[in-house]
Amino acid sequence: MVLAATTLFANAQQQEGKKNIEKLCGCFDVDFRYAETFSPDTSYKFHDREHSHATAELALPIAVSDNKIIIQHLLVINDTMVIKHWREDWEYQANDLLVYQGNKQWTKQAIPAAETKGKWTQTVWEVDDAPRYQGTSSWILANGKTYWENTTNAPLPRREYTTRSDYQILKRGNRIALSEKGYVHEQDNEKIVKENNTEKLLVQEKGINAYVKIADSKCAAAKAWWEKNGAFWTVIRTQWDAVVKAQSTINLKAKVDSKRMDEYFGKLSKQWSNKEVSLEEVAKQAKSTIEKFVAGSKDVATN
């Protein structure tokens, strides 16, 4: 009886979590705000507050099963221009995590079954589908509020990694709270300096990302863009999945031959759109490109 009750509870958590994650999908007006709040160093000079706004972002579910949901984010500029944004995967009772160590290195760590039971793991990927961060937690319903929260290490955010080098890890306190209008991604972050295997706090930061549902018509261009380009990015994602699955440690280079990974994939995407290469050739070139950027990573089988 106890086992049956436990199974029923886990199944309920799975289904409720899936329903909550599906509410993260749709067309949204998005507002991003960040402010540094506290530093233990009295001489630290706080950076200016940041505010950005997107009038339309499509969070498109591109693969859905009982145990996993993949959501691709696409920005829409001036109703017509579409930019591939970040991606998030949600997996129920995942077996392991990629833990960010700083300096573009991740190590794979197994999650004990007891710790992942009834929980959903969110994986966030870069615009080129490279790893970013992962976190595991339960969806909670308390006091009329539905939310998921987790603290995990991540690389510097895109808004800062080209302009700052004074810290190496963003310890993200993520809280995703559903609302009638959409959802809010609230962040309590710590910017961590990592030197000689020691870590110290540089400054804390508060982030509020508000996603407000708007008419689906506002994201029509993004939906059409994915229908045209989705096959290409599915191949890229598949190649990345194979690499991540095979490695226990990933060391990712920022550039190869003075080019970022998204530059390589951007060129390859144009070639595919112009029918200069097949999807089979895309897969070969994507695999080769990814392997160049993760050269030196450790294979799971050898550890």
* Side chain identity at residue 269, one-letter code: S
In a domain, 119, yes or no: yes
In a domain, 26, yes or no: yes
What's the CA gap between 91 and 201, in Å, rounded?
A: 31
List the domain range (segments joined by +) for residue 42: 2-214
Question: What's the structural domain count of the chain?
Answer: 1
pLDDT in tens, 122-160: 999 999 999 999 999 999 999 999 999 999 999 999 899
Beta strands in the chain (DSSP E): 26-38, 50-64, 68-77, 81-92, 96-102, 105-110, 120-125, 131-137, 139-142, 145-154, 169-178, 182-195, 198-213, 247-251, 298-299
In a domain, 250, yes or no: no
pLDDT in tens, 93-110: 999 999 999 999 999 999
In a domain, 196, yes or no: yes
pTM of the model: 0.93
In a domain, 293, yes or no: no
In a domain, 121, yes or no: yes
In a domain, 271, yes or no: no
* Residue 11: pLDDT band with limits 50, 70, 90: confident
pLDDT in tens, 48-67: 999 999 989 999 999 999 99
